[in-house]
Structure 1
């Protein structure tokens, strides 16, 4: 019944949309808005607008129950509210409205806000499908805050803020990443500014004791958390964190949480909270896609007699990855990767027809390369101090305060470059990103698409770049079918062969600057990159022999080393490298131990400019919780690893390659729903490049 109900609502959602406010964008007026604002005495409006816009999204079971509950939560409105200033018609507290309109400067709602806030204020559980970057944070914050104020009216007075307690949390919001949780926390505090509601965040990478002391001292009404840290707090009696009267429970990016292996934590969290039979709470699930796992999760969490499905992704929507120009730059070898990045950035900054200043995110698939790239590029002329282009770095090894600081600086910067692992690939709102540069093979098609989705947002133009060695291109064609990626031959640095072909002055300058930067970078930084690349996901058309050859050429020809980094006998044995040609097995005598160099908080020899961040955090590359090798979310062998892990991209439990048992390995989305996902259709069989 639940599955059939969801499927029926997906179909009806497309019919309902033509009478709703889905065509409304912020600061715009449409004919639909004019129709919805006609007087409700008109028969056509009474029949179509409220009924089709919202009521038809409810399941058959929930319709009658909803009718009995509407008066309990909000007055009945003659037409859906589409402006924040009109929320008083739905009974929203005036202090929340003032914070939205005066404090935060919001006027017209986006489509997901209009479609979700109206019914959520009536108390229904909700499963909402919405793209990232569409304003869904406020779509769940407004009804959650209103519910808290209705349950505890004295919190409307800011003077009652000190009465909150960490052992009586009223609402919990879960996010898959620390960055997204912090971003939600910022918006929540703005909304709570004129009230007594206390918002706290609890994420990994921060000191648990300090966060707890803050919660004990200030109290907590709304908690924004990552699943791992919240489960830790709820299961620890000494933490004194509880929610016996929980009123609202929100999962943001529910599909992403299941992707990164948080299903066990979510189950444990539910067991730690009062059951739905004991305390009636509202559950809101927001997801960019609705795969099979999300359906199962929703079924276990929402009330089947009082929920509704909200879909804001239209079937004729053109996804970001289909409208943003995407360029494939095939390089002669790995030694050309960094010069090619400089070449792309130099051309973009010199372009006079660009609508926005150059602002780019450079994605690498492992933490070690993010660290190495930052250390190298900060020593080049293009990104040196005073060049006018700030550079930042974000990855799992940084402490949460460092990651948050870098994200905030990059978000506010007009022209900047962010070197990042996939921690920023989804959910993060970075305005005016003009270019997304992906270096090396993406783990899979979905991850490529999510990365590209960081540009071309809010109606802006953007570009995507994929930089690959020639040997990686066949595997990329296999992993990235049906994407509008076009070969680009305009980047001279990609085609230059060191020591063989003549180079232009600019290309020579790029290679020369990078050669000097390599010489000033400690060798252990590149050793970590070398090992991380050997632990990546390989495939049918790209094998470890290819990677070893490319890495050795980068090291010997591009960096001027006399020999490639050694691989310890233990690592070589564990990775089946003992017979791989080109691998040097042994121990480098000048190798600095990784724990002392990368494992601490303040021992990295430089800090991020302006953000004052230093590399080296809790989740290091080897054996850490979020490490690139052997960690819980590692890229090789970890729980959510890239090769052989529980949610692995290759051969794991949720295998994308179909090599493993594949619980979620293929077309779960198409099997369940006919609606469009944020990641687009998977029906293509061939790559376009």
Structure 2
């Protein structure tokens, strides 16, 4: 169905146009024949007996206690973790303060394994409780290594140069979210949690950390690397017990590989201090396996697979719609038509839950344009919902305020770049709307994961512009996307003079958003195209958007240097005065955007990590191979 749906959408559009130090990471071994975990979905890739069995079933057996397990052999309730030695103060925070009793499947598979002290590589989807799954074992390990940290009596003794645990996250928002969760978990202990993220004042963070101390630091890679290499920061971790890399695939996607390597060089070597490393990732491409080779003990780690063989990474129960958009001139009219329609459906009682949407764009400038348009529509009384925006250009304080406001809102729209696509928890999101072909397949999956979290309802929408349709088909052609032609603005032929009220509103608002539109116009060319012919067709469509979609007299002017950098020197652009070429208002459309998307190559010969690589789940993969029956 997926493949057929793409043909249908395309026809609609066509009608218009290994480091050595790792090997030294050993630790003392406690002789025991018993095994802690019987998780039937985890692959044991390990070769030495486990050490640091502070949290073992042997200890429970010595006390004559029987660890109760579910039918699958898993521990399924947080209270049962007391039988594995988890400190009561941590469990009280979970079961009483946070009111969590039953584990999610991810927690049931991951926590007992991590409590052994072995290194862990876990493949887990977002929205499945994975944050608690790695925080609880991490905090327990810190307490076992220093028992006085378990009670409030030790509070106030922390130091900034005695950090015991580190959690790395790819985004500021996710790092702050993890830190908040960690503070809830440690409220009955003497553990001090601090966060260190970019976009905030470094000196203010250092003053707070030097005053309060720090046991657990939750950070983004860039900021942590900066702190560790700054000899005057006072930040150090000579007794580091555990290191967690959350959303490892995303950290590599956004270019943090060098920072991760540098961070490990500042941490104590395995010969000085043994630590547990946990690597958590929703997808495990070759570059994540390469990272595991660098940071995980090859002789003592366990791969935990929390995604079933017949379970899709894309949440198959989420309805997913694809809308063929004739031109970029139709994108924002179609977007606001959909928003208005869904809000009205809830107000008329046709939907059970309020309309609460996240709209994803590929560039910051497109987010800013949507935010400005939403603001003007609200002022004019055309939009009956609160609007917020989050993107990388905002200061961290502004991003945090927007995220908190959106979390607490009822009927609302969040215009966002990919900074919120991973790990961020926004309750009751009813719609995820993605504009244009995502940068990669994983981005589509993680964006979609912001809706239908837990047992809630939700749906996904993808706006596929005709110039990008071939790339969309190549990237997402086997996913369960269903064609949706219910938006009248999507197929409007503005090039022939056709219009709708939404198009007229865009033209009226064009006067108010001119400078922002100019940046949005140029930002789309930076997304990458595959051939010179494609570039020319994209230029024609962008010019149509400017003149017919926003009512501008001419497209935004561009400079020769910029055009040369984009490979558009001979394209139909509106160059600054002094160039001997203007632009032509004609031109056909039909551009297809593509390009190679490489995830990196794996390591050399076969080893434990190669075995792990053969058991990871790829999107669309089931026990019978890759899914091709849809779209």
TM normalised by structure 2 equals 0.83
Residues 99-110 of structure 1 correspond to what in structure 2 (within 5 A)?
99-110=93-104
Give the drift of 1:71. 5.8
Give the drift of 1:180. 1.0
* Equivalent-residue separation in structure 1 for 2:552 and 2:382 (angstroms): 31
Residue deviations 1:183-242 (CA, integer Å, cap 9, x gap)? 101101111112221101111111111111111111111000011111110011011100
Partner residue in 1 for 2:172: 178
CA contact (8 A) 2:43 2:304 kept: yes
Partner residue in 1 for 2:47: 61
Partner residue in 1 for 2:412: 416
Partner residue in 1 for 2:228: 234
Partner residue in 2 for 1:564: 555
The alpha-carbon distance between structure 1 residues 338 and 71, as it changes in their structure 2 partners (threshold 3 A), is closer
Residue deviations 1:76-119 (CA, integer Å, cap 9, x gap)? 56345322233322222222122112211111011121222223
CA contact (8 A) 1:96 1:192 kept: yes
Give the drift of 1:168. 0.4
Partner residue in 2 for 1:511: 503
Matched, 1:426 2:415: no
The alpha-carbon distance between structure 1 residues 384 and 687, as it changes in their structure 2 partners (threshold 3 A), is farther
Matched, 1:405 2:391: no
Partner residue in 1 for 2:10: none
Give the drift of 1:311. 1.3
* Equivalent-residue separation in structure 1 for 2:185 and 2:53 (angstroms): 30
Partner residue in 1 for 2:598: 655
Give the drift of 1:500. 5.2
**In structure 2, which of residues 368, 376, 381 is the aligned counterpart of residue 371 of structure 1?**
368
* Equivalent-residue separation in structure 1 for 2:45 and 2:498 (angstroms): 68
Partner residue in 1 for 2:334: 340
* Equivalent-residue separation in structure 1 for 2:413 and 2:380 (angstroms): 12
The alpha-carbon distance between structure 1 residues 375 and 687, as it changes in their structure 2 partners (threshold 3 A), is farther
Give the drift of 1:402. 1.4
* Equivalent-residue separation in structure 2 for 1:499 and 1:264 (angstroms): 48
Residue deviations 1:319-346 (CA, integer Å, cap 9, x gap)? 3353322222222322211110111112
* Equivalent-residue separation in structure 1 for 2:53 and 2:315 (angstroms): 43
* Equivalent-residue separation in structure 2 for 1:550 and 1:327 (angstroms): 24
* Equivalent-residue separation in structure 1 for 2:476 and 2:41 (angstroms): 40
Partner residue in 2 for 1:356: 353
Partner residue in 1 for 2:390: 394
Give the drift of 1:165. 0.7
The alpha-carbon distance between structure 1 residues 669 and 57, as it changes in their structure 2 partners (threshold 3 A), is closer
* Equivalent-residue separation in structure 2 for 1:270 and 1:222 (angstroms): 16
Residues 252-401 of structure 1 correspond to what in structure 2 (within 5 A)?
252-351=246-345, 352-381=349-378, 389-401=385-397
CA contact (8 A) 1:395 1:403 kept: yes
* Equivalent-residue separation in structure 2 for 1:134 and 1:246 (angstroms): 27
CA contact (8 A) 2:333 2:489 kept: yes
CA contact (8 A) 2:620 2:627 kept: no
* Equivalent-residue separation in structure 2 for 1:207 and 1:492 (angstroms): 47
CA contact (8 A) 1:578 1:585 kept: no
Matched, 1:580 2:576: no
* Equivalent-residue separation in structure 1 for 2:229 and 2:99 (angstroms): 40
* Equivalent-residue separation in structure 2 for 1:120 and 1:73 (angstroms): 16
Matched, 1:120 2:96: no
* Equivalent-residue separation in structure 2 for 1:519 and 1:106 (angstroms): 52
* Equivalent-residue separation in structure 2 for 1:368 and 1:282 (angstroms): 41
**Secondary structure, counterpart of 2:190 in structure 1:** coil
* Equivalent-residue separation in structure 2 for 1:187 and 1:385 (angstroms): 38
The alpha-carbon distance between structure 1 residues 182 and 307, as it changes in their structure 2 partners (threshold 3 A), is same
* Equivalent-residue separation in structure 2 for 1:670 and 1:473 (angstroms): 37
Out of 402-411 and 454-463, give the one that drifted further: 454-463
Give the drift of 1:526. 1.2
Partner residue in 1 for 2:152: 158
* Equivalent-residue separation in structure 2 for 1:154 and 1:54 (angstroms): 35
Residue deviations 1:424-463 (CA, integer Å, cap 9, x gap)? 1222222222111111222222222222222222133322
CA contact (8 A) 2:478 2:628 kept: yes
**Secondary structure, counterpart of 2:479 in structure 1:** coil
**Secondary structure, counterpart of 1:279 in structure 2:** coil
CA contact (8 A) 2:36 2:112 kept: no
The alpha-carbon distance between structure 1 residues 128 and 671, as it changes in their structure 2 partners (threshold 3 A), is closer
Out of 281-290 and 166-175, give the one that drifted further: 281-290
**Secondary structure, counterpart of 1:360 in structure 2:** strand
Unaligned runs of 5+ in 1: 2-46, 589-642, 644-648, 657-661
The alpha-carbon distance between structure 1 residues 386 and 331, as it changes in their structure 2 partners (threshold 3 A), is closer
Residue deviations 1:118-169 (CA, integer Å, cap 9, x gap)? 2322322211111111101111111111122222222223243221111000
CA contact (8 A) 2:60 2:67 kept: no
**Secondary structure, counterpart of 1:437 in structure 2:** strand
**In structure 2, which of residues 538, 541, 544 is the aligned counterpart of residue 553 of structure 1?**
544
Matched, 1:672 2:613: yes
* Equivalent-residue separation in structure 2 for 1:567 and 1:669 (angstroms): 49
Give the drift of 1:497. 3.1
CA contact (8 A) 1:235 1:272 kept: yes
* Equivalent-residue separation in structure 1 for 2:351 and 2:333 (angstroms): 22
**Secondary structure, counterpart of 1:482 in structure 2:** coil
Matched, 1:78 2:61: no
**Secondary structure, counterpart of 1:451 in structure 2:** helix
Unaligned runs of 5+ in 2: 1-17, 19-32, 70-74, 580-592, 604-608
CA contact (8 A) 2:123 2:616 kept: no
Q: How many residues align?
A: 570
**In structure 2, which of residues 420, 424, 434 is the aligned counterpart of residue 438 of structure 1?**
434
CA contact (8 A) 2:107 2:133 kept: yes
Give the drift of 1:677. 3.5
CA contact (8 A) 2:192 2:214 kept: yes
Residues 420-499 of structure 1 correspond to what in structure 2 (within 5 A)?
420-498=416-494
Give the drift of 1:170. 0.6
**Secondary structure, counterpart of 1:238 in structure 2:** coil
CA contact (8 A) 1:125 1:307 kept: yes
The alpha-carbon distance between structure 1 residues 541 and 316, as it changes in their structure 2 partners (threshold 3 A), is farther
* Equivalent-residue separation in structure 2 for 1:259 and 1:406 (angstroms): 25
* Equivalent-residue separation in structure 1 for 2:333 and 2:610 (angstroms): 40
TM normalised by structure 1 equals 0.76
The alpha-carbon distance between structure 1 residues 303 and 445, as it changes in their structure 2 partners (threshold 3 A), is closer
The alpha-carbon distance between structure 1 residues 559 and 687, as it changes in their structure 2 partners (threshold 3 A), is farther
Out of 329-338 and 235-244, give the one that drifted further: 329-338
CA contact (8 A) 2:36 2:116 kept: no
* Equivalent-residue separation in structure 1 for 2:56 and 2:455 (angstroms): 39
CA contact (8 A) 1:449 1:679 kept: no
CA contact (8 A) 1:655 1:664 kept: no
